[in-house]
Structure 1
């Protein structure tokens, strides 16, 4: 993140979630968990280096063009809110496309090959997916005049919630039920990572939980302790093979 305040807040949030996972784990981590975390951090370091630069470039390109749907008349706070909502819907659509289009799935599959979930899983994305997603955000950025600062703010919110909904935290059932009415929670997103393709192809939304209900992709089943995580018929790979995955499958 180019904004030091956003970066600091996100780092503190990741540290808090990481600590809570160790104090109140929902699932027992696998024996080689630290090796798995190291793979995820390796992919995450590449993604976190590239994403802010690409999003800044995307925002600057869009800022030089008159938006097709100007929102300035709404006033700054309302325009910002609308742009964030648009980006959340766009992220839902892109995520669904990564599952439904075989070419895009090649780049998204390394994220799903993780056979356990925790905060580190939120950073496990192939650099190819980062490049494609940044390029595709040019579309809403051009349409609605979304600048670099707004793109980076959205990315920080998205990452913070991804850290939460991938996390291995045991939450009180009532709290999670109430939270799930508004945002994606671990119970919702862990079903998306179930090693059963029909469950994997559901629960696509990233921040607000409403979009799966609106677009008919909601999976009503909650996560089950002990459910298999990963890609049906496949298993996790080494760091090098994860990077090569889109080009050899």
Structure 2
């Protein structure tokens, strides 16, 4: 597929893959849920989907060309590390996807460790339940910052358009998958998490215990957490007994879209200890 054809089909490829995974995960959650919801699902879903609609609109307005178009440009110009190395295309593709995933892991880690960035990211963690729509729930400012980081990574790396599209599709699909409130056979989960972040693995990251929140940062590949010592296999309270979310945002009013967007400026969580209880 030529770069021109790819760019023409890119929005439809991304939309089709997104809707397909979303529908599969939503059906799976109905068929085999891992946990019972703690709040009304319809209201949460409405507001979480509202966030991703706003995010998508802002990205299209502020980055009209998109990451894939940038990949086509750097490929055409021979820009970036991979362009200079002149590796076979399949190696370039593989390296680009893995490195971009590592960049997203590092970005996620930074959004937990830098207080100003955590203010943006905590909207994602304030969801009192975790399901497929939690994978859509990111503050617009975080999405825009993430897009800027991705642009810099593509430029520096010289990631070609096909690699960028593949990475974007995989990232969106795995984010929906690993936030899913779905039950997997334990043996399958143990094997699967060797190559991809599973729902049980990522659910630990949404615990309200601070040390568990600061673990399992991966969205797609699980290797970075194992490599950098941030991997945690299971939540201390068990998947059924653990509390999801942040202590400071338990009030159901924070589920509203307008309140979610204001969370970075909320004084209710100015004290870092208010975000999460001290570990037992």
| Alignment TM-score, normalising by the size of structure 2 | 0.82
Distance 2:14 2:144 in 1: 22
Which structure is larger by alpha-carbon Rg, 1 or 2? Answer: 2
For residue 46 of structure 2, the aligned residue among 14, 38, 56 is 38
Q: Which residue of structure 1 lines up, in the alignment, with residue 4 of structure 2?
A: none
Distance 2:205 2:102 in 1: 17
Match of 1:244 in 2: 262
Deviation of the 1:33 alpha carbon = 1.5
For residue 26 of structure 1, give the secondary structure of its aligned residue in structure 2: coil
Match of residue 247, structure 2, among 194, 217, 232: 232
- What is the Cα deviation at residue 16 of structure 1? 0.9
* Correspondence 1:130 to 2:124: no
Post-superposition Cα deviations, 1:139-194, rounded to whole Å, max 9, x if no partner, equal 22111112455333312111101111100111111111110111100111000000
For 1:7-26, list aligned pairs within 5 A. 7-26=15-34
- For residues 78-227 of structure 1, the aligned pairs below 5 Å read 78-222=91-235, 223-227=238-242
Unaligned stretches of 5+ in structure 2? Answer: 1-8, 268-280
Give the total of aligned pairs. Answer: 249
In the superposition, relative to structure 1, how do residues 88 and 73 fare at CA in structure 2: closer, same or farther (>3 Å)? same
| CA RMSD, 1 decimal | 2.2
Which has the larger share of helix? 2
Q: Distance in 1 between matches of 2:150 and 2:199?
A: 26
Pick the aligned partner of 2:81 from 27, 44, 69: 69
List runs of 5+ in structure 1 lacking aligned partners.
none
Indicate the SS of the match to 2:128: coil
* Alpha-carbon contact 1:55-1:148 (below 8 Å) kept: no
Given the superposition, is the C-alpha separation of residues 5 and 70 from structure 1 closer, same or farther in structure 2, using an over 3 Å criterion? closer
Tell me, in whole angstroms, the C-alpha distance in 2 between the residues paired with 1:198 and 1:241: 26
Say if 1:133 and 1:103 are closer, same or farther in 2 by CA, change over 3 A.
Answer: same
Conservation of the 8 A alpha-carbon contact between 1:184 and 1:206: yes
Tell me the CA shift for residue 122 of structure 1. Answer: 0.7
Residue matched to 1:29: 37
User: Is residue 39–residue 128 contact of structure 2 (8 Å, CA) maintained in 1?
Assistant: no
Q: Which residue of 1 aligns with 2:5?
A: none
Deviations 1:187-245 (A, max 9, x none): 11000000111110111011111110111111132552131000134326121111122
Q: Which has the higher relative contact order, 1 or 2, with Cα contacts under 8 A spaced 6 or more apart? A: 1
2:93 and 2:162 in contact (8 A); partners too: no
Query: 1:81, 1:201 → 2: CA distance?
Result: 28
CA–CA distance in structure 1, aligned partners of residues 141 and 243 of structure 2: 26
- Which secondary structure state, in structure 2, belongs to the residue aligned with residue 225 of structure 1? helix
Shift of 1:58: 4.6
- The alpha-carbon distance between structure 1 residues 188 and 55, as it changes in their structure 2 partners (threshold 3 A), is farther
Deviates more, 1:102-111 or 1:222-231: 222-231
Larger mean Cα displacement after TM superposition, 23-32 or 70-79: 70-79
